[in-house]
A and B are shown apart, each in its own frame.
Chain A
């Protein structure tokens, strides 16, 4: 279907880009992106993907908005405290761009439901806050041959990589989840809100690049930045033959749930 007058106007700054054009914008409009976690990373990613015109945006989150979220989860506003994050996110997405089909998944991902959800999408953004979820998303995407963006933030630091079938996966770098409670979490260690925004928008840009099929994705590389010095570094790597899910002799051929050490320490209610 050709772009409407309204769409030509709304997306004109994309369309004039040589690497996007009408064709690229049409790909974005047909694109389906799943955002796992409507939090620090998922919030900015969702806002930019909605504004960009991604046709279908799925949001997975089982939580409700609380006051501590507002310092960085910019899709949720003060009056949203107590509201389900998926509903809050859906409302803002539709205000930015009523043309988006928002699919809400008010639940957490587990080994038993993740494959059925991710198969409906072209690209997955990992905006989760804990290692069991990050490893589950990696394994499910590798097994289902689904492209995804990994993201992690802590204090003033962020790191991200993109996986497409055939490239190195998250487990190639980090073979297995760290011992529970060994890594400080955002709730324990804090995070600069703007760092979440920096990383979430990088993930959104990767999703858009994937949809339009232009440029070079952040595959086989980990982008690491430290916002206190504002230094960015890229570490290259290759698929790890010892990787338990995509290596030469994979030991992970199905999905499993890891013990859930929750990152987001909430105040007792």
Chain B
């Protein structure tokens, strides 16, 4: 099934969780990312239990601390 990750289509297996998607996309530090699913933030303790539906739109938002 297909979902959109950061605006780009991605083919995933049915039943994949947010945690699984982070692994699949080689997000090395899951603590460093906020995940939005169809416009709502997924709470961190729900990452493992949240699975995707066809057409879901997922965004990974990363901490970026520089400025100087």
Contact = CB atoms under 8 A, between A and B. Distances in A.
B66 A186 contact: yes
B7 to A, nearest CB: 6
B50 to A, nearest CB: 15
Contacts, number: 91
Given A182-B29, A237-B41, A240-B41, A174 B68 contact: no
Contact of B66 (A40, A69, A179, A222): A40
B63 A235 contact: no
Bin chain B's interface residue count.
20 to 34
A153 B66 contact: yes
Contacts of A58: none
A185 B64 contact: no
Interface string A149-187: 001111001110000000000001111001100110110
B67 A242 contact: no
A157 B41 CA distance: 22
A233 interface: yes
Interface string A239-251: 0101000000000
B68 A186 contact: yes
A263 B65 contact: yes
Interface residues of A, number: 45
A191 interface: yes
Nearest to A38: B68
A53 interface: no
Contacts of B64: 152-154, 157-159, 183
A127 interface: yes
A32 interface: no
Interface of A: 37, 39-42, 69, 73, 126-131, 134, 151-154, 157-159, 172-175, 178-179, 182-183, 185-186, 189, 191, 196, 222, 224, 233, 235-238, 240, 242, 263-264
Interface of B: 6-7, 29, 31-32, 34, 36, 39-41, 43, 59, 61-68
Cβ-closest 3 pairs across A and B: A152-B64, A39-B68, A186-B66
26 contacts: A39-B67, A40-B66, A40-B67, A41-B68, A126-B67, A127-B67, A127-B68, A128-B67, A129-B66, A129-B67, A159-B62, A175-B34, A182-B31, A182-B32, A183-B32, A183-B65, A185-B65, A186-B66, A186-B67, A235-B36, A237-B36, A237-B39, A238-B39, A238-B40, A240-B41, A242-B43
